[in-house]
Amino acid sequence: KNQVEQSPQSLIILEGKNCTLQCNYTVSPFSNLRWYKQDTGRGPVSLTIMTFSENTKSNGRYTATLDADTKQSSLHITASQLSDSASYICVVRPTSGTYKYIFGTGTRLKVLA
């Protein structure tokens, strides 16, 4: 079972609409949780990074939230644009262990005109 699971696996929305992507993790304790945007065939681009003590972090139209009690994070995209079409990956860094960066399963978002 993946320690970082995301939902939905894929999502299609119309341009201008809002959407929320979910990330559930079992990694504990962890140092920080990050959200990345990855265009097909390109490197991931960091959107937000939150420590376990932070609840929310914004970056333009992207807002990430973190609930350490329920081990859930969400990424909210406001007023979506065609260029938001990409994969969104949740990454958790545990405080110990061999694997320092655990990547989630990703959500593939498609924004239609």
Q: How far is CA 91 from the centre of its chain?
A: 7
Read off the tokens for 99.
């694997």
Nearer to another protein among residue 29 and residue 41 (C-beta) = 41
* Smallest distance, another protein to C-beta of residue 6, A: 10
Q: Which long-range contacts (CB under 8 A, 24 or more apart) does 65-69 make?
A: 66/33
Torsion of CA 11, 14, 15, 21, to 10 degrees: -30
Residue 37 CB, shortest distance to another protein, in Å, is: 11
Catalog residues that contact another protein under the rule CB under 8 A: 32, 34, 36, 41-46, 49, 89, 98-101, 103-106
As given in the structure block, the two tokens for residue 16 are 């201008």
Closer CB to another protein, 43 or 60, in the complex: 43
CB nearer to another protein: pick between 41 and 113: 41
Closest distance to another protein from the beta carbon of 14 (Å): 26
Residue with tokens 């979506």: 80
Smallest gap from residue 82 Cβ to another protein (A): 21
